[in-house]
Structure 1
Amino acid sequence: MATISLPTTSGRFENYTTGEPIKLPPKGKPPVFNRVAYGAAHVVADPLADNDPWLDVAIDWDKTIDFRHYMWDLGLGVAEAMDTAQRGMGLDWNGAKELVRRALEAAKSRDGALIASGVGTEHLTPGPDVKIDDVIRAYEEQVEAIEGMGGRIILMASRALVKAAKSPEDYAKVYGRILRQVKEPVILHWLGEMFDPALEGYWGSPDHNAAMDICLGIIEEHAAKIDGIKISLLSKEKEISMRRRLPASVKMYTGDDFNYAELIAGDEEGYSHALLGIFDGIAPAASEGLARLAKGDVQGFHGVLEPTVPLSRHIFKAPTRFYKTGLVFLAWLNGKQDHFTMVGGQQSARSLQHLAELFRLADKARVLHDPDLAAGRMKQLMAVHGYA
């Protein structure tokens, strides 16, 4: 246990004493789950690079790939080059291609390593001159690149498509063209505007229920080319409603970082698989919980994962797009990287008070690997802000 003085919402400081650490599973054969479980993984910046951090991307490739091995060791799949990796928010298409190449190479060195990679259109700048055919070509370029490396595809939402589309039919045209071409079934990704404001009105309607109808029509027409859909709307009711309407062959992958435990557990009519950013931060707990669920221990599953939900809700609180800061901070506290530096200088996107509460919640959720190490690093951060 360790005791540290942390700021509170009142602006005062109070002592906080850590509890027991999480018990990390021994190295060995990864556990087997009865849910498909991907964690969207972050990238590790290189803090010693001589660059302009707000403008240039400098990645520590060794540490970044090591983190993927850490997730695979725990039985989790890696959702590569997604928004958690700051895709389109610091990591450009060239950087994403290199990340995917390195991750796929690492996956080949392991038996059964699960990986799927994001395909988007961020190299196409949205604007009045961008047409639907331009969006299609942009998607095709990235599909060709990822499939050429032997990768499976997560078809990400497109900011350019939002700007170019005049009607739901334009979405059907774009997705239909791409889905008819892909070699293997893909995972669709419906990322809500709370994660990326530029995606408001996706599928051709600002109303999520109307948008869901449009999306389901596309899925039904192309079900043979769709493995599943990840929705990130932070609404368990909308996810359950859509889950119950999907074709039998199409999986629902929860992207709900507020309600994932109950959505993965499911109900009498079905359950969700997982493709979650929070699994980056709570990988050992996610692995332990999913292993218990696979053994039929639903109570044990909730016992492990429910305490992590308040932590996740804090990390993903509005403005939700800054959640990556919390995940990288947690990776630093847990010794998975040697610094708290991010691509684009995004370590500054959350306040000291926010990070102090994250520390408390991570401890209460028992996801700190070594509370003494975490407390020592938290003290370093406090000192940087003038509170030694």
Structure 2
Amino acid sequence: MSSNSALARPTERPPTIVVSDLYKIYDTGAEQVHALDGISMTVNEGEFVAIMGPSGSGKSTCMNILGCLDRPTRGHYELDGIAVANQTDDELAMVRNRKIGFVFQSYNLIPRTTALDNVTVPLKYAGISGREQHQRALAALDRVGLAGRIHHRPNEMSGGQQQRVAIARALANQPKILLLDEPLGALDLKLRKDMQAELKKIQQQTGITFVFVTHDQEEALSMSDTVVVMDKGRIQQIGTPQDIYNEPKNAFVADFIGESNIIDGIMHRDYLVEFAGRKFECLDRGFSAMEPVDAVIRPEDIEVVPPDDGDISGTVTSVNFKGVYYEIIVDVRGFKWMIQSTEKQEPGGRIGMVLQPDDIHIMKKSEYSGTFGDYS
């Protein structure tokens, strides 16, 4: 799969979103800024997709175009079978009202109206009859657990309850897709965890396609069926949470999703790589003989042993307690490794490290090589 291609996923569900070679270019006068640089992806009906990336990666621009709030410079975008990229403003407004629901980090509730009235607002714009407006709004509030607070105003509800009203408002119009832009960012940690479970439950019950932008890696990995990782206006990788974490495509993805030790290596042949001054068996193949590569080892996969028993050994430079494990930085021939272990080590001590073949993931060199993975 190329970095800007959709992941091939065998499924009987039809696609809800099809994006092909999409660009968004801003002309600042002095230069052209490629906010989106030829992205392609397919999102199937009923799928929960998380879009991740640092600030400026293009994820918000992507969401604006998916939500018909902005137009691409060029490329194809099809929503529920409708080619929307070149539609008029009136046609885009109709698509938004009928096909798309939005949930943002700021709740955007009307302060002086009740929860019921807030949920009813988009139904009025969609031309739904008064009686059906009321029924849909009640059903949506009941779905998010607020049937007993329909007459409460926003200032009479907690932050979590206000976010539930915003979700109910987005669901009431029975959209084909729900776009969620950092919807839980303003909540405290415990409430955020509760709402993660609630959102996943709602998505599974309704079967609505969810596209979710988040900076929270754990949130993306635990909630979504598919993760899209973006940087520099391009899709770096699309895959299941397990694929993204265990088989990152390049050093950017490996570093952005979790912690990673990323070491320069040489692939001697299939299943044999050299790094840190010695050769290791691995599970990777398809590289040229003696090809320079990046080797990825997750900190939690490293076994700590006495220095004479390790595949490699080094000196502990720092130890930080993280609650359920110790984060240990180890200097191995000038390269600083991170280890996550339940066993405390002492700074200045020597330790050995054991790596099994399935602890090692090999990646081709990329523009990100040498940028990440050393904890100096």
Question: Fold match, TM over 0.5?
Answer: no
TM-score using structure 2 length = 0.38
The answer to which structure has the higher strand fraction is 2
Higher relative contact order (CA 8 A, sep 6+): 1
Larger Rg: 2
